[in-house]
């Protein structure tokens, strides 16, 4: 979120959480002052998530005053993630050979693992999907599915993967950092559609093989 109207649109559409990128390398980056302004608009019971990529602990401490949840999207160790008085989630980029069971155990203190596509040299926000069948069943942590989700593919993603949550950035934008209220609303509707498909046993999910 970089703009007031995008915060309002996501809240109106029923988003459970809003993300704020504090990593200056992102096209969606905001600074501490803007974080304070934007998060002040967020109603109670909507989670304010701050996204960091291998950043200065002092900055994270200051930003945490405006945040409910910290999202670590770099190579932070579990110990580094746990150093702040806020719940946290760890983003894992789905490079080849990742052992998600071992990583779930290593990140014992995380509230969830956020699984994103891997692109060399880019920490996230790539708009790329990954092969969802690589997510093993029975992970010890809730999964937040991310990476290239859009209003067109998120229903299938929810029905197939059955994640704890989904996370989207570029898929609901008109341009980098500029969200599109229509796409936000369409995304949330598709999430609910996917959840209904899941509850119905995936019967109509195009990506689910026949039993």
Ligand X SMILES: O=C(O)c1ccccc1N[C@@H]1O[C@H](COP(=O)(O)O)[C@@H](O)[C@H]1O
Sheet containing 17-21: give its strands across: 17-21, 47-52, 69-72, 88-93, 113-116, 143-145, 165-166
CB closer to ligand X out of 159 and 166 = 166
Binding residues with ligand X: total (CB under 6 A): 24
* 127 interacts with ligand X by CB under 6 A: yes
CB-based contact 87:68 (threshold 8 Å): yes
- Footprint of ligand X on residues 45-74 (CB under 6 A)? 51, 53, 73
Measured CA distances, 26 to 73, 113, 150, 176 (Å): 12, 21, 20, 9
Among 123, 151, 163, 194, binds ligand X (CB under 6 A): 123
Nearest approach in angstroms of CB 38 to ligand X is 15
Stretch that binds ligand X, among 32-40, 58-66, 95-103, 122-130 (CB under 6 A): 122-130
Stretch that binds ligand X, among 18-26, 97-105, 157-165, 186-194 (CB under 6 A): 18-26
- Footprint of ligand X on residues 143-182 (CB under 6 A)? 146-149, 167-171
Among 10, 39, 88, 125, binds ligand X (CB under 6 A): 125
Nearest approach in angstroms of CB 173 to ligand X is 8
Cα atoms in the 13 Å half-sphere on the side-chain side of 138: 2
Q: Which positions touch ligand X (CB under 6 A)?
A: 19, 21, 23, 26-28, 51, 53, 73, 116, 123-127, 146-149, 167-171
């Amino acid at each position: 979120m970089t703009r007031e109207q995008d915060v309002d649109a996501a809240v109106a559409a029923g988003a459970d959480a809003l993300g704020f990128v504090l990593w200056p390398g992102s096209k969606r980056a905001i600074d501490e002052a803007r974080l304070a302004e934007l998060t002040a608009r967020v109603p109670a019971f909507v989670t304010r998530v701050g996204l960091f990529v291998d950043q200065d602990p002092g900055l994270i401490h200051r930003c945490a005053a405006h945040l409910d949840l910290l999202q670590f999207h770099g190579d932070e160790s579990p110990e580094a993630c746990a150093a702040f008085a806020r719940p946290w989630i760890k983003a894992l980029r789905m490079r080849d050979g990742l052992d998600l069971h071992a990583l779930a155990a290593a990140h014992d203190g995380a509230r969830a693992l956020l699984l994103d596509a891997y692109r060399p040299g880019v920490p996230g926000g790539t708009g790329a999907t990954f092969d969802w069948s690589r997510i093993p069943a029975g992970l010890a942590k809730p999964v937040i599915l991310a990476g290239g989700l859009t209003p067109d593919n998120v229903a299938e993603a929810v029905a197939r993967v059955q994640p704890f949550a989904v996370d989207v950035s570029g898929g609901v934008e008109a341009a980098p950092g500029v969200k599109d209220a229509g796409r936000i609303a369409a995304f949330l509707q598709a999430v609910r559609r996917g959840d209904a498909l899941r509850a119905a046993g995936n019967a109509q999910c195009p990506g689910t093989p026949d039993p």
